[in-house]
Amino acid sequence: MIKIKFLIVGQGIAGSCFALKLIRENKSFLIIDEDKDKASKVAVGVFNPVVLKRFALIWDAEPQLRLMHRYFEEFEKICGQQLISQIPTYRIFKDPDEIRTWQKKSKNRELLKFISEEIITNNHADINSPLGYAEVRQTGRIKLEECLEAFKNYLTEKNQYINQRFDYSELQISDDGIQYGDIFAEKIIFCEGYGVKDNPWFNELPVIGVKGEVLKIRTSTQVPKAIWKAFNFLMPIEDDICFTASTYDRDDLTPEPTEKGKQEILKHLEEIYKGSYSVIDHTAGIRPTVVDRRPLVGSHPKFKNMYILNGMGTRGTLLAPRMTEYLYDYIENGTPIDKEADVRRFMV
Ligand SMILES: Cc1cc2nc3c(=O)[nH]c(=O)nc-3n(C[C@H](O)[C@H](O)[C@H](O)COP(=O)(O)OP(=O)(O)OC[C@H]3O[C@@H](n4cnc5c(N)ncnc54)[C@H](O)[C@@H]3O)c2cc1C
């Protein structure tokens, strides 16, 4: 019999952040992960505290950003590689109205920390920005796929990672904890991303799958190092290799990339890049989004040993560390979870 404090189901960014917290707090745990259809592997890992459609700060921006850096600096130590890159985002303007809105919004004291007032004249031949662009600060990229792969290897070596599908019908729940095969855990934390749709205890939550596709392209010229953002974005990751993304499809929830998705991304690429390129990779994943665009964190109303950490939507990189802190403090110290994230808003 294996006796542990926490059993985690799923090793995407949510399950990994929770496991990292448990390592820091010296608590015993195991992760069971199918390692299939993992949105976190497809995610480009961009972080950006500003909503670039509306020019507004995201919910809870500063604590999320602070904790994101803390968590990924710890992942860097464990994984033995650099994972965080600070890269400015350049918002390309499509019409004079957008410029006026930007100039108005950049006077807002909260936003001023993150966006600059100056409209920059474009002088890069292959960047399509006749009206200029402006800078968003404190943005960048986390190498999520590399992070999760290295963390999985680290946990495997410590016998804390089991690669298999969790069979919900095998779970026995008692007042003291849960039994799953020869594993007894005091608590179980479900972090299955969109896979939560198969979880009999949480599958009635309003999680909406939103498929996203990403292209990796080789460009004929070197794109200046930045996250170039119009409707989509273009971001160089090596000399002539860039990511460009993404699509948002609620109807087709198959895990495979599609020709339609590729054409949509390439159409939007024209709004950013004028040079020639070839597509070298194409991937797809399903984002676990929630109707009210807030995460799902907390305990099952009936089974007190059962918890969920999900609903990271389009911003897993920023949300997962902060939501991990909420869940851990709730479990260990009884600290209430922010109402906006608490799963009880949908389950009583
Ligand atoms: C195309 C695309 C681009 C994106 N770009 C970004 C970005 O740039 N920045 C950003 O912050 N976010 C981005 N996102 C969003 C981000 O990917 C998600 O918010 C995040 O990955 C969700 O993480 P998760 O851990 O909840 O789920 P997942 O990463 O999906 O992980 C869930 C894990 O649980 C496992 N699992 C599920 N059910 C079971 C079971 N029964 N038994 C065992 N294991 C199970 C799965 O196999 C998987 O490994 C993007 C998403 C997509 C699709």
**DSSP assignment of 229-260:** ESSSEEEEEETTEEEEE---BSS---SS--HH
| pLDDT of the residue at 329 | 98
Q: What gap in Å lies between CA 202 and CA 230, rounded to an integer? A: 37
- Distance (angstroms) between ligand 1 centre and the Cα of 181 equals 26
| Atom 18 of ligand 1: nearest residue by CA position | 316
Each residue's pLDDT, cut to its tens digit, for the chain (348 residues) gives: 999 999 999 999 999 999 999 999 999 999 999 999 999 999 999 999 999 888 899 999 999 999 999 999 999 999 999 999 999 999 999 999 999 999 998 888 889 889 999 999 999 999 999 999 999 999 999 999 999 999 999 999 999 999 999 999 999 999 999 999 999 999 999 999 999 999 999 999 999 999 999 999 999 999 999 999 999 999 999 999 999 999 999 999 999 999 999 999 999 999 999 999 999 999 999 999 999 999 999 999 999 999 999 999 999 999 999 999 999 999 999 999 999 999 999 998
- How far is residue 348's CA from residue 22's CA, in Å, rounded to a whole number? 28
Say whether domain 2-43+145-207+292-345 belongs to CATH 3.50.50.60: yes
Tokens, residue 265: 């991304």
Q: What is the reported pLDDT for 100?
A: 94
* Atom of ligand 1 lying closest to residue 40 CA: 21
**pLDDT value, residue 53:** 81
Tell which atom from ligand 1 comes closest to the C-alpha of 213. Answer: 1
User: SS in 3 state form for the chain?
Assistant: CEEEEEEEECCCHHHHHHHHHHHHCCCCEEEEECCCCCHHHHCCCEECCEECCCCEECCCHHHHHHHHHHHHHHHHHHHCCCCEEECCEEEECCCHHHHHHHHHHCCCHHHHCCECCCCECCCCCCECCCCCEEEECCCEEECHHHHHHHHHHHHHHCCCEEECCCCHHHEEECCCCEEECCEEEEEEEECCHHHHHHCCCCCCCCEEEEEEEEEEEEECCCCCCCEEECCCEEEEEECCEEEEECCCECCCCCCCCCHHHHHHHHHHHCCCECCCEEEEEEEEEEEEEECCCCCEEEECCCCCCEEEEECCCCCHHHHHHHHHHHHHHHHHHCCCCCCCCEHHHCCC
Choose one of 18, 30, 40, 234 to mutate for the ligand 1 pocket test, by most ligand atoms within 8 angstroms of C-beta: 40
pLDDT of residue 71: 98
316 CA distance to ligand 1 middle (Å)? 8
For residue 41, the CA-to-ligand 1 centroid distance in Å is: 7
Contact 228, 290 (CB under 8 A): no
Task: Supply the DSSP symbol for 144.
Answer: H
Angstrom distances, CA of residue 106 to CA of 57, 111, 119, 136: 11, 6, 11, 10
Mutate to test the pocket of ligand 1, among 7, 8, 11, 13 (most ligand atoms within 8 A of CB): 13
Contact (Cβ atoms closer than 8 angstroms) between residue 17 and residue 148: no
CA distance 69 to 317: 10
Quick count: other Cβ atoms within 10 Å of Cβ 170? 9
Extents of the domains making up the chain? 2-43+145-207+292-345
d(CA 30, CA 188) in angstroms, rounded, equals 10
Ligand 1 centroid to 253 CA: how many Å? 14
